[in-house]
Amino acid sequence: MKPTLLVLAAGMGSRYGGLKQMDGLGPNGETIIDYSIYDAVEAGFGKVVYIVREHFKAQMEEAVRKKYAGVKCVDGEPLEFVFVTQELDKIPEGFTMNPERQKPWGTAHAVLMAKDVINEPFAVINGDDFYGKESFKILGDWLRAHEGSEGVYSIVGFELENTLSESGGVSRGICSYDGNQNLTDIAEHLNILKEEDGIVYGDNSTNGDEHVVLDGSALCSMNMWGFTPDYFTKSYEIFKGFLAEHCQELKKEYYIPFAVDSIIKGGQGKCEVLSTPAHWFGVTFKEDRPAVVAKFQELADKGVYPSPLYGKK
């Protein structure tokens, strides 16, 4: 069984100021998604599903199919690509949204857009985050081990210190879990920085934005999830309950952590917290870009990745 990679690529990246998903950051203009797909193929994934917006679907599909022409899975079969759109009006029947709403419905809604094209265990990632080879190997192995399972999901936890930005404070969801490594809670913290004393601080948004010391080795969510396909059915029902309460609001969003938390607390499933030693990086701020470019050049110089990543030198 080859798991599927679902890439959340519908966001325009307001803080970054442009379409991050198409930005060439590697030595030969490679995007962050290019590296994620390269790592996923090496980890045994067989299909990539892109969640995009209709207005740039054609542009992205053309670029993707040209770039990855000839890419093979580990078993020699061609890598499969599917493109699905996330739009505001794609909500269950019986609900009418506020006509003034412009904001997308969130990451859990985006994942639901793929419910008709995924029938196997699958991973979910952000299109503008670099997760590292180790993370895809860990998650790919977990997904293969849970073929045919139901109600068993996973999240790849990154050590907090391995996810910080040198350009400003970041927001991170810090995972809590029980003795069996099953997720019990994700607590959102804002403005996380390593300050001059070398200690990591952040504002606990669940406790009045109290400024607190954080454990740099704590596992946090970077929106890298593993799901069995029954997740779609459960999440769809939760989304209907969400809309019953919020469909007329302009900004309320349906996020993956909310959906997973609802499943766990409703006794419908559990979510294992996997740990990765990889360093996350991404372009949260424009100021992050030069450092990310330098990191990709370093990885190419060390031979971690071929250069160019796809095609001939």
Q: Kindly report, residue by residue over 269-290, the tens digit of the pLDDT.
A: 999 999 999 999 888 778 888 9
d(CA 72, CA 131): 21
Is the Cβ–Cβ distance between 10 and 104 less than 8 Å? yes
Residue whose pair of structure tokens reads 């029980």 in the numeric block? 178
Q: Which two tokens stand for residue 4?
A: 């599927």
User: Does the predicted TM-score (pTM) go above 0.85?
Assistant: yes
Cα separation of 185 and 130, whole Å?
24
Say whether the peptide bond before residue 308 is cis (omega within 30 degrees of 0): yes
The C-alpha atoms of residue 243 and residue 196 are separated, in whole angstroms, by 44
Residue 73 clears pLDDT 80, i.e. is over it: yes
Task: Look at residue 208 in the predicted model and tell me its pLDDT.
Answer: 63
- The size of the chain, in residues, is 313
Q: Which two tokens stand for residue 172?
A: 């991170």
Q: Among 222, 283, 282, 229, which residue's Cα sits nearest to residue 256?
A: 222
- pLDDT tens-digit series, residues 208-241: 667 889 999 999 999 999 999 999 999 999 999 9
Domain positions in the chain: 4-301
**Given this model, what pLDDT does residue 312 score?**
58
Pick the CATH number of 4-301 from 3.30.420.10, 3.90.550.10, 3.40.50.720, 3.30.2130.10: 3.90.550.10
- 58 or 112, higher pLDDT: 112
Distance from C-alpha of 34 to C-alpha of 171, rounded to nearest angstrom: 25
